[in-house]
């Protein structure tokens, strides 16, 4: 094949190099892409011991343009003949606790700005999450941080992946350079900070290393073009990659899947590139020898299996099965909870979706539905309207009198406000700044809860899914990788028989 199709070999080397270059370049690019998967995207939660005004002033002086703080958050206050938009601190100062205009929305909105005893504000800070946290610490001091940044998951992911890579390299023996090269394209997966994605990267790396070992030990001279890499190795790695992709998208989400696919494409490029270079080197040696090489025929057991790697594969998969859930369950919570949004309706602000959000008791912080109730109350307070979310088509009327033609007076109901879908669209479109504008920017009803950084496997379905994933990915190795002495003998005998038959022919 090498002598007859040198151009094809060169093309494959070039294509593999391009794919590998793309995957390695993604090591620097992908972390910035994953910066935008935060709960309040594009805002980050900044917690600080400084006062809100002082922290906001320092961030603004450092070049941060979009800051949501108490003084930038507006609420509506009734004048009885209209409403005024005033800042939250001004409203709390102006309105006595017994003033009917101080509604539950105004009272509860301050919960956004004090989280677990620390002052909080929200800002758009460009760059990666790690860089944003470092920027906040540099500008506001060491006691300040980004609530979304939590280093423990990243540390666990790096430690787990490094353990698997180091152990595999030590057990691999000759050819460690190729094995270590397989790990480089998978680094973007670790950058996501997802322990599940790191587990998938570790499983994929170990499987690819085993596939390369199988390909190297099983290498036979063939004349067909497709025999670039061992079919058995390709089948095993493809099965593991498919299972890993399903696991990553189910647990870590679609964005982590993108990083995983980038990493696996790079690892595959390394595998193909190593095999292609080996073919080219063999071709050069054959050309220098000037004669057809002898076909090796073993008289003893020729297929030695995977050596130390073979003996430790069951232990490695057992480690991947047991260690991540245990370590993750022991992981301490983040110092400060973070606001997390949960979708509570389809795109757009449909009246019925907002009504369901208003009735949902899971969300402890005011939502856009609370703002609608607040606005309706402030606009109709002078007409006796009670604080509540307006049902679809709610009409506020005022009892009026008019003089009839005969000089008598009759009463009638004058419509002063109608809380229908068009009114809701106008209320959201003209939302005052700050928290309300931030909630409206999601484009759909969302609820907000203060959530600690939970362990990934804190729920039993996650543990079951993790166990199923590890067990399923072990099957391709059991079936396709020669990890039992009996299978070694079978494959060795089969290969030797084929070689003898070709030699005789």
Q: In this structure, what token pair is assigned to residue 265?
A: 């494409």
* 485, 395 contact by CB (below 8 A): no
Residue closest to 149 by CA, chosen among 34, 59, 63: 34
pLDDT higher than 50, residue 36: no
Where b means 16+ CB within 10 Å and e means fewer, 57-84 reads ebbeeeebeebbbbebbbbbbbeeeebe
pTM: 0.65
Q: In this structure, what token pair is assigned to residue 395?
A: 């009409």
**C-alpha to C-alpha distance for 150 and 132, rounded to whole angstroms:** 12
**C-alpha to C-alpha distance for 325 and 327, rounded to whole angstroms:** 6
What pLDDT, in 10s, does the model give residues 444-456?
888 888 877 655 5
pLDDT higher than 70, residue 483: no
Question: What is the average pLDDT across 321-344?
Answer: 73
pLDDT at 454: 55
Torsion region of 9: left, alpha or beta (phi above 0 gives left; psi -120 to 50 gives alpha): alpha
**Angle, helices 176-183/195-217, rounded to nearest 10 degrees:** 150
* Domain boundaries defined on the chain: 6-32+153-334+456-504, 44-151, 345-451
Question: What is the average pLDDT across 73-95?
Answer: 90
pLDDT at 496: 59
For 242-269, the three-class secondary structure string (H helix, E strand, C coil) is HHHHHHHHHHCCHHHHHHHHHHHHHHHH
427 burial type by CB count under 10 A (0-12 exposed, 13-18 middle, 19+ buried): buried
pLDDT higher than 50, residue 366: yes
* 212, 175 contact by CB (below 8 A): yes
The percent of residues in the chain predicted with pLDDT above 70, rounded, is: 73
**C-alpha to C-alpha distance for 285 and 492, rounded to whole angstroms:** 26
Which segment of 173-182, 294-303, 368-377 scores lowest on mean pLDDT? Answer: 294-303
């Amino acid at each position: 094949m090498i002598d007859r199709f040198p151009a094809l070999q060169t093309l494959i080397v070039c294509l593999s190099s391009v794919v590998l270059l793309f995957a390695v370049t993604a090591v620097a690019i992908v972390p910035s892409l994953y910066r935008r998967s935060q709960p309040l995207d594009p805002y980050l939660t900044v917690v600080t011991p400084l006062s809100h005004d002082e922290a906001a002033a320092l961030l603004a002086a450092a070049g941060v343009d979009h800051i949501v703080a108490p003084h930038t958050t507006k609420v509506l206050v009734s004048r009885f003949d209209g409403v005024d938009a005033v800042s939250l601190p001004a409203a709390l100062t102006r309105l006595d606790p017994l003033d009917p205009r101080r509604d539950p929305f105004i009272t509860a909105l301050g919960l956004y700005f004090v989280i677990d005893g620390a002052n909080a504000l929200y800002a758009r800070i460009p760059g990666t999450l790690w860089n944003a946290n470092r920027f906040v610490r540099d500008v506001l001091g060491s006691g300040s941080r980004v609530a979304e940044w939590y280093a423990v998951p990243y540390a666990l992911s790096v430690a787990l992946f490094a353990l698997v890579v180091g152990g595999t390299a030590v057990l691999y023996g000759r050819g460690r350079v190729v094995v270590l090269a397989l790990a480089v394209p998978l680094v973007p997966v670790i950058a996501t900070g997802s322990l599940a994605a790191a587990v998938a990267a570790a499983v994929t790396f170990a499987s690819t290393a085993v596939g390369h070992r199988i390909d190297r030990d099983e290498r036979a001279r063939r004349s067909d073009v497709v025999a670039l890499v061992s079919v058995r190795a390709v089948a095993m790695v493809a099965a593991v990659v498919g299972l890993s992709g399903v696991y990553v998208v189910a647990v870590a989400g679609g964005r982590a899947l993108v990083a995983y696919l980038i990493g696996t494409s790079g690892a595959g490029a390394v595998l193909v590139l190593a095999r292609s270079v080996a073919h080219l080197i063999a071709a050069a040696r054959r050309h220098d020898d000037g004669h057809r090489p002898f076909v090796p025929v073993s008289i003893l057991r020729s297929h030695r299996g995977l050596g130390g790697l073979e003996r430790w594969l069951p232990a490695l998969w057992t480690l991947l099965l047991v260690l991540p859930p245990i370590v993750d369950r022991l992981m301490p919570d983040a110092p400060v909870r973070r606001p997390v949004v949960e979708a509570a309706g389809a795109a757009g602000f449909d009246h019925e979706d907002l009504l369901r959000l208003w009735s949902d008791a899971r969300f402890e912080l005011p939502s856009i539905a609370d703002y609608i109730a607040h606005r309706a109350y402030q606009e109709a307070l002078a007409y006796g309207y009670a604080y509540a979310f307006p049902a679809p088509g709610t009409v506020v009327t005022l009892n009026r009198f008019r003089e009839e033609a005969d000089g008598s007076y009759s009463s009638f109901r004058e419509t002063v406000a109608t809380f229908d879908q068009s009114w809701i669209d106008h209320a959201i479109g003209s939302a005052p700044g700050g928290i309300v504008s931030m909630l409206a920017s999601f484009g759909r009803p969302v609820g907000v809860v203060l959530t600690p950084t939970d362990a990934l496997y804190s729920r039993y379905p996650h543990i079951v899914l993790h166990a199923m994933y590890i067990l399923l990915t072990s099957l391709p190795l059991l079936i396709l990788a020669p990890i039992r002495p009996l299978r070694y003998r079978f494959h060795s005998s089969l290969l030797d028989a084929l070689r003898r038959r070709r030699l005789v022919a």
